[in-house]
Amino acid sequence: MPIPNTITRTLDLPHPQEKVWSALSTLEGLTGWFGSKAEGEVAPGHDVLMRWEQFDGEQTLAIKVVDPMSVFAYCWGINGAPEGDPRRTYVEFALEPAASGTRLTVTESGFAQLPDEWLEASYQGNTEGWKAELGELVAYLDAA
């Protein structure tokens, strides 16, 4: 079976859009669930440097869309690519009202550009990564 180009996860969260939006689109929110440190400006055309101390890693989020209460999106480096590789995937968080609070759809696309030798490991790694990270988002929102 071929590897898809896109990872999509949808969560129905029992929280108001404002709370979910703040968790996704502020430095404080991002460090509460996504990484251990975030620096930069969360605005289109700017970068946010995310650090994960537990993995001794970092990624630059190139902010593409900040449409309040609706869409937050960025591009970032590809898991498993050699340092300096210019290819990026596009990550989008889309929020909409739901009966229970907020429906969040997370989509990461751009895997089809990868060479075969990276494709499966990168796609599977990010699929598992989103499962873990979105679990941390739920815990963060529930605790706040």
Residue 144's pLDDT is 74
> Where do the domains of the chain lie, and which CATH numbers do they carry?
6-34+67-143 (3.30.530.20)
Closest CA to 101 of 22, 24, 21, 17: 17
Mean pLDDT calculated for residue range 12-27: 97
Q: Which whole number is the average pLDDT over 113-120?
A: 86
For residue 121 the two structure tokens come to 């490991």
Mean pLDDT of 4-12: 94
Position with higher pLDDT, 84 vs 9: 9
* Residue 138: burial class (beta carbons within 10 Å; 0-12, 13-18, 19+): middle
The span from the CA of 31 to the CA of 33, in Å, is 6
Residue-wise pLDDT for 48-100, tens only, equals 999 998 877 899 999 999 999 999 999 999 877 888 889 999 999 999 999 98
Q: Is a pLDDT exceeding 60 seen at residue 1?
A: no
Please tell me the pTM assigned to this model.
0.94
What is residue 2's predicted lDDT score, i.e. its pLDDT?
65
| Helix locations, the chain, DSSP H | 17-25, 27-33, 116-143
